[in-house]
């Protein structure tokens, strides 16, 4: 049972998935830092609001921090854009290049007697007049 568990853990799919999760988490951290430290202040400077994270409103004593939502929305759009342009688009291009068009249906066949090329619909060879199969 331990050998089966070890084989399961060392299969390529599990290891690839683990690496993907770790890289994805690190990538998410980098994008979050980019949004929080660079893009949000840049956008805030343009719209003259110092920080989206502090934007909120109060309704019946409840505080709604919609600025944090704006930051998260910007981070989501950036992650989705990065995944599309750096993962999905290149993979689609590679898959499209690797696809080969199916071969065209043959229009000729070889004669069994003289091995010359004849039309696929022919009943007799034009060269040796033998019936074709």
User: pLDDT tens for residues 11-56?
Assistant: 767 777 888 898 888 888 887 787 778 877 787 788 776 667 788 8
Q: What is residue 59's predicted lDDT score, i.e. its pLDDT?
A: 92
Task: Say which residue, 132 or 29, is predicted with more confidence.
Answer: 29
27 touches 80 (CB < 8 A):
no
d(CA 129, CA 126): 6
Two structure tokens written together for 118: 């004849």
Residue appearing with tokens 């949000």? 40
User: pLDDT tens for residues 68-91?
Assistant: 888 788 778 877 887 788 778 988
Whether 121 has a pLDDT exceeding 80, the answer reads yes
CA distances to 101, 132, 133 from 115, in Å? 28, 11, 13
Lowest-confidence pick of 48-52, 70-74, 95-99, 119-123: 48-52
pTM above 0.75? Answer: no
- Where are the chain's structural domains? 2-98, 104-133
Two structure tokens written together for 31: 């994008």
Q: Mean per-residue pLDDT for 119-133?
A: 82
Q: Please report which helix (H) or strand (E) contains residue 132, including its range.
A: none
d(CA 110, CA 63): 83
Q: Which CATH entry fits the domain spanning 2-98: 1.10.1200.120, 3.30.70.120, 1.10.10.10, 3.30.70.360?
A: 1.10.1200.120
CA distances to 26, 79, 92, 111 from 35, in Å? 14, 10, 28, 71
């Amino acid at each position: 049972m331990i050998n089966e568990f070890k084989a399961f853990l060392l299969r390529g799919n599990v290891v690839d998935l683990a690496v993907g999760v770790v890289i994805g988490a690190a990538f998410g951290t980098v994008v979050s830092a980019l949004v929080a430290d660079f893009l949000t202040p840049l956008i805030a400077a343009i719209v003259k609001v110092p920080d989206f994270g502090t934007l909120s409103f109060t309704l019946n004593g409840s505080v709604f921090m919609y600025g944090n939502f704006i930051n998260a929305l910007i981070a989501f759009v950036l992650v989705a854009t990065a995944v599309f342009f750096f993962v999905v688009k290149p993979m689609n291009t590679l898959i499209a290049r690797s696809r080969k068009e199916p071969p065209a249906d043959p229009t000729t066949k070889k004669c069994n007697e003289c091995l010359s090329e004849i039309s696929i619909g022919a009943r007799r060879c034009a060269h040796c007049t033998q019936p074709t199969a």
